Structure 1
């Protein structure tokens, strides 16, 4: 058809040119010349009318009308499909009938949307398997011409208080995860560098097909339209992370430099958050520890990452390897992008690369193992790190005599610290105040922050207070057997983090139970020792915050009885069960009320009220109350930086009326 059209146009052009030439030959006869020129113009006009005007009129009258009708129908079905997608996404996983109903509606709307294309789809035959099926074939293509390795629609959970879900167009491009609300909008960056992220399935939310991309600064919850699509996106993110690490080259160094100069970070809500501490920053404080100015595993200068349960600093490559080991071996944080709690920062400052390498590399030279250097291939560094922390191949095992001497030394060290003026010993119960008959002691709570304060009247106690349950005195005895668990037990009481790290490296169980001492655990002994940092170290290494001793008392009970407000705050933040009762049927709140400790009573009441708020918001709520978080943050900073301010017993004056 095209060739015939070209031949026609060429012949027609030649014919018109011939008429014009004939007109030029008839210049002597004006009548003939005039009519020949008019004839050529008439032919051109007729051609234009036939080729343009008639077709244009047909297009305006018929084709555009059909197009408008088709567009109207398409928009209608598209809106129905969008509504069906939203309903399908909202279908709870535990209500099968709602899931089936939403799936059937979605399938029907997809069929309506593509019904006009059905003849073409049938013609394509084997090239298209099932156009009504949403399980689109998605592949991760790192070498895509447009730089977009993968793209598609996902539901994204907002970070606001309502946790709303919105459908957005997501894409993985240039090692970033971005999304667009509308086609012409500039992409919004969710994750700036996928190397710093991990991706995981989410089965603890009500919706199906959810997954979460977690970075050091925030997390993003997303939902695919089907299980197949969810798996495709998770695989795409994982492939992007692996590809970025393989191709990191100089970009990793640039990222380290960039992170070191940044001054703000984002929390899970996406808002800027000040991370600098009073005085020096977290980076400056941690790097000031001897040995911390170079990566603990490969020696790369200026590390910007840390393993908080080991207490070491890492370069970006080694931090990625540590993250791949799993959190039961290493928990990685950024020294520049993350916020640092005071107790966690003190933990880092009490350990460091020098201390940990003395433990985990004690036999490296003896075994002839080569320590990696900056720039070594990733697989060599990864093999070394696994041998060092997972297999613990270079740890020196102590003899029975060395272990015995270590345990005895730690028990004596605990006694010296207990009598030292630098250590605040467990505070005794307050003397019974002299009160007039009928006089009551009122404990005022910080309930004015909550809307239901009027329903929470202040608690009243009798004038004569019973003494709090006494805590067992820490006494060393000759055990039947010496073990790394016993070393961890006494090191926790002696507040010696290096000895605790050594015990864990020797295979000590962090929740080891001393059956010869009321089934106490290292975490309970850390409470007895009065150190907030020691408790933080054990919790970072997976200590059970609710494990009880033979008296039915958990760490929260012991911290309450001793009046250690900072530890109470720490345990409540870590999910300690304050409803648990000991064999005397006393809960931590009962103990705190008996001891007239207003700080701890306030914390326990606030934690209980916050828990009730979260339950009222629904089983999948994670927000709670912001006032509760702010107050706990204040208590945490005070316990870490100004512990004397929490010694209410020392401020108590029994002679005051």
Structure 2
């Protein structure tokens, strides 16, 4: 009877293990559901609490089942008994065999008789020892039978008492929460029933509608919260030899035309900048409702589902072009958002190897002190950057920065996007440490808590908006502090150092005809952040420029006491390509002129700063603008005999004429134009000595 009970105990242990395993899987399912319900705080917190309580019950049950099962201590005795019985059966068979062999031994063969007798004697001796062991195990089981049964059952009952008592305490603690959820559940049931009735009513109304002439309604909304001004399905003609048509999801966002094959795919950029494009109807092909978007390097043929939708898309593209030109100070390049946004499937080319991409840019930027962690939440190993602020960000903070708009922060990937040399130098001259000293100067004083990795998104978003939009933690300088800062910056002489951005002096051409307008430092009537930005741009001090912008300086501030020069013109005078890049990334107007009618492009041409000329031409500088002497940048470059700048201006002029012309565009010509500009930009950043033509104009000299 005891052996049977022990077997039942073993079966109960196995069943308990299976039960606990199934329970653990169920609890893990509850936890996964809670993690997927982060947007619903009630469901997430309730499921998490229930999962923790059930896990405790599983732990109690595991202890009871495995460690306190009745007769668990008798399992070892039962095994020894079985082993002894097995040995007894085996030696009994050997003894029977020895008896049989001994009986069969012939009388006349003495050696066989002796061998059989010896075997029988040895077998009998072994049999006696095994019998004693077998009887011993039987006696042990019998002797423990009474005490073991009572002891095991008592232990088992106490274990269950503890199990149920702990379970009672645990669920007593959960009872208030369960009652609270019960009340909420009643309200949820009522709300669900009401929503069901509303949906049924809407469904009935829709069924009665006539869809024979219905069409998808698309509206152009430049102020959409998600930044998507227009989106919908279109057929796109491939650029391959077969000219196949594929249905894709198109959208207009950030002045770019992009499409996705699937919802989760990264968008592919069809048009990098809509300001460089035109849109027109296409009536000369077999398909209906087609239109074409033409850029300087390619054209894209698309088809809408109806004439109404075609007109809507054409108007949307035209409105996007107009909006892009109206946006104040939006002369900087549009940020690329993903690896596919750096090129198009139709372009047929890879990003230029001369631009840094992936780990090269990542390693250089993260090597700056403070950049190894996110600037706003401290998340280690960031992979995103704000190029106009010069900081590194984690993926969550980068999404929040992107939602602020490009007038506050322009986000770019450190691993997926290509990085021009001047942008990379900008990131390396600023960094998280510099920017946080400006934008978090009063954080501790105000008692504001800086977010940590893992904090709720809404808390991090609130902190970032307070930091960059409201500038709540920026320390405003006193009038005396501002005056001291401006005076210090204005007295810094132009440094002809070994900087890689500055061109060493060389003798001037034999008969220079250009007469650059000199400027004199005057004691200003008042000191302002705009004046700080003005002189910091000349002094090539990016931290001081960032501080001035944080204090509210207008990036296009005009110094009325100094020929109406702007910070961008002063950056040209200072000879720094990175300073110009920083101002342009922060929405500086590349075409704003001074009192002499000269814009930044004029000044860069006069000074022979080829890298700056490249930068301004890429950012849409008007090379046809003339100063008060009716001189254009091209005429100035010709008079100065600067062959590099003359070449650049003429190439830019040719490319502009190609964009304005109708009909097919020269793919090879456009590629040549882009290659030459990239070569000059790379040279200006890394090998400026090669671009040196003549001695630079020093405004302090007569």
TM-score range, shorter chain: 0.5 to 0.7
Kept after mapping to 2: 8 A contact 1:149/1:173: yes
Q: Residue 650 and residue 242 in structure 1: after superposition, are their counterparts in 2 closer, same or farther (change >3 A)?
A: closer
Q: Deviations over 1:626-648 (max 9, x none)?
A: 11000000000000000000012
- CA deviation after TM superposition for structure 1 residue 229, in Å: 7.4
Q: Residue 187 and residue 25 in structure 1: after superposition, are their counterparts in 2 closer, same or farther (change >3 A)?
A: closer
Q: Residue 259 and residue 105 in structure 1: after superposition, are their counterparts in 2 closer, same or farther (change >3 A)?
A: farther
Q: Residue 370 and residue 71 in structure 1: after superposition, are their counterparts in 2 closer, same or farther (change >3 A)?
A: farther
Q: Residue 567 and residue 374 in structure 1: after superposition, are their counterparts in 2 closer, same or farther (change >3 A)?
A: same
Partners of 2:668 and 2:100 lie apart in 1 by 24
Runs (4+) off by over 3 Å = 1-36, 40-46, 54-109, 111-126, 136-153, 156-253, 255-280, 414-429, 432-437, 617-624, 650-657
- CA deviation after TM superposition for structure 1 residue 178, in Å: 12
Range with greater deviation from structure 2 (300-309 or 83-92)? 83-92
SS at match of 2:435: helix
Partners of 2:665 and 2:564 lie apart in 1 by 35
Partners of 1:226 and 1:168 lie apart in 2 by 16
Kept after mapping to 2: 8 A contact 1:256/1:316: no
Q: Between Structure 1 and Structure 2, whose CA radius of gyration is higher?
A: 2
CA RMSD of aligned residues (A): 30.6
Partners of 1:619 and 1:120 lie apart in 2 by 71
Range with greater deviation from structure 2 (478-487 or 211-220)? 211-220
Kept after mapping to 1: 8 A contact 2:339/2:417: no
Kept after mapping to 2: 8 A contact 1:154/1:222: yes
Partners of 1:593 and 1:414 lie apart in 2 by 29
Partners of 1:579 and 1:102 lie apart in 2 by 126
Kept after mapping to 2: 8 A contact 1:359/1:395: yes
Range with greater deviation from structure 2 (280-289 or 154-163)? 154-163
Residue in structure 1 matched with residue 475 of structure 2 by the alignment: 396
Range with greater deviation from structure 2 (142-151 or 373-382)? 142-151
Q: Deviations over 1:561-587 (max 9, x none)?
A: 001000011111111111111111111
In structure 2, stretches of 5+ residues that fail to align are 1-11, 48-52, 60-65, 124-167, 184-206, 517-522
- CA deviation after TM superposition for structure 1 residue 424, in Å: 3.9
Q: Deviations over 1:372-407 (max 9, x none)?
A: 111111111111111100000000000111111111
How high is the TM-score relative to the length of structure 2? 0.54
Range with greater deviation from structure 2 (123-132 or 284-293)? 123-132
- CA deviation after TM superposition for structure 1 residue 414, in Å: 3.5
- CA deviation after TM superposition for structure 1 residue 597, in Å: 0.5
In structure 1, stretches of 5+ residues that fail to align are 47-53, 438-477
Q: Deviations over 1:435-463 (max 9, x none)?
A: 999xxxxxxxxxxxxxxxxxxxxxxxxxx
Partners of 2:220 and 2:266 lie apart in 1 by 22
Q: Residue 273 and residue 632 in structure 1: after superposition, are their counterparts in 2 closer, same or farther (change >3 A)?
A: closer
Q: After superposition, where does 1:494-513 map in structure 2 within 5 Å?
A: 494-513=539-558
Kept after mapping to 2: 8 A contact 1:545/1:574: yes
- CA deviation after TM superposition for structure 1 residue 429, in Å: 3.2
Q: Deviations over 1:282-315 (max 9, x none)?
A: 0100000001011111111111110000000011
Kept after mapping to 2: 8 A contact 1:172/1:178: yes
Range with greater deviation from structure 2 (541-550 or 138-147)? 138-147
- CA deviation after TM superposition for structure 1 residue 148, in Å: 20
Q: Residue 34 and residue 317 in structure 1: after superposition, are their counterparts in 2 closer, same or farther (change >3 A)?
A: closer
SS at match of 2:279: strand
Range with greater deviation from structure 2 (129-138 or 633-642)? 129-138
Q: Deviations over 1:190-227 (max 9, x none)?
A: 99999999999999999999999999999999775479
Q: Residue 628 and residue 160 in structure 1: after superposition, are their counterparts in 2 closer, same or farther (change >3 A)?
A: farther
Q: Residue 23 and residue 628 in structure 1: after superposition, are their counterparts in 2 closer, same or farther (change >3 A)?
A: closer
Range with greater deviation from structure 2 (598-607 or 615-624)? 615-624
SS at match of 2:494: helix
- CA deviation after TM superposition for structure 1 residue 42, in Å: 71
Range with greater deviation from structure 2 (628-637 or 234-243)? 234-243
Q: Deviations over 1:37-64 (max 9, x none)?
A: xxx9999999xxxxxxx99999999999
Range with greater deviation from structure 2 (319-328 or 194-203)? 194-203
Residue in structure 1 matched with residue 55 of structure 2 by the alignment: 42
Kept after mapping to 2: 8 A contact 1:296/1:313: yes
Residue in structure 2 matched with residue 416 of structure 1 by the alignment: 495
- CA deviation after TM superposition for structure 1 residue 625, in Å: 1.1
Kept after mapping to 1: 8 A contact 2:501/2:577: no
Range with greater deviation from structure 2 (25-34 or 623-632)? 25-34
Partners of 1:625 and 1:649 lie apart in 2 by 30
- CA deviation after TM superposition for structure 1 residue 411, in Å: 1.7
Kept after mapping to 2: 8 A contact 1:265/1:273: no
Aligned length: 605
Range with greater deviation from structure 2 (83-92 or 24-33)? 83-92
Partners of 2:120 and 2:633 lie apart in 1 by 52
Range with greater deviation from structure 2 (404-413 or 306-315)? 404-413
How high is the TM-score relative to the length of structure 1? 0.57
Range with greater deviation from structure 2 (548-557 or 222-231)? 222-231
SS at match of 2:230: strand
Kept after mapping to 2: 8 A contact 1:158/1:165: yes
Q: Residue 293 and residue 161 in structure 1: after superposition, are their counterparts in 2 closer, same or farther (change >3 A)?
A: farther
Kept after mapping to 1: 8 A contact 2:232/2:250: yes
Kept after mapping to 2: 8 A contact 1:519/1:550: yes
Kept after mapping to 2: 8 A contact 1:556/1:588: yes
Q: Residue 654 and residue 481 in structure 1: after superposition, are their counterparts in 2 closer, same or farther (change >3 A)?
A: closer
SS at match of 1:119: helix
Partners of 2:73 and 2:214 lie apart in 1 by 37
Range with greater deviation from structure 2 (207-216 or 630-639)? 207-216
Range with greater deviation from structure 2 (484-493 or 231-240)? 231-240
Q: After superposition, where does 1:619-638 map in structure 2 within 5 Å?
A: 625-638=670-683
Partners of 2:276 and 2:265 lie apart in 1 by 26
SS at match of 1:172: strand
Q: Deviations over 1:19-74 (max 9, x none)?
A: 999999999999999999xxx9999999xxxxxxx999999999999999999999
Partners of 1:137 and 1:256 lie apart in 2 by 29
